[in-house]
Amino acid sequence: MKTIEISLLSPEAALGEFAKTWTAAQSSSREMTPRLAFGSLRELFLAITEQRMELLRYVAAHEGLSLRQLARALDWDGSDLQADVAELADLGLLERDQQGALSAPYDEILIHAGIRDAA
């Protein structure tokens, strides 16, 4: 199962995580878990809305659809769908091949949202 992890991190914590990940990647040949970080729940939920999660799930179950086929299947406005697909692609959560066919590269999204600062 291919997983991506999403975390809520302060800018300082994000830099620290980046440094640790960079060091681990340089010293290991094992595959690293892909990660995204957001500064707040608000930022996360603006980027990955409930509608965009529905879109991700649909594409994962019906890979290879074009944007037009997807708009028809979901009965969504094409321009809104195009913006959602572009945002998810920018985050690396959707991919498009040279013919425009969509796919979801991950089977699972894990979201880590701590409620206490690290000691």
Helix (H) or strand (E) holding 71: helix 67-74
CATH number at residue 91: 1.10.10.10
Q: Mapping DSSP to helix (H, G, I), strand (E, B) and coil, where does residue 51 land?
A: helix
pTM for this predicted structure: 0.83
Residue 55, in any domain of the structure:
yes
Domain range spanning residue 34?
A: 3-112
Residue 119, in any domain of the structure:
no
Question: Per-residue pLDDT tens for 3-49?
Answer: 999 998 877 777 777 777 777 777 776 777 888 999 888 999 999 99
Residue 107, in any domain of the structure:
yes
Residue 90, in any domain of the structure:
yes
Number of domains in the chain: 1
Residue 11, in any domain of the structure:
yes
At 77, is the pLDDT very low, low, confident or very high (cuts 50, 70, 90)?
confident
Residue 117, in any domain of the structure:
no
Q: Mapping DSSP to helix (H, G, I), strand (E, B) and coil, where does residue 47 land?
A: helix
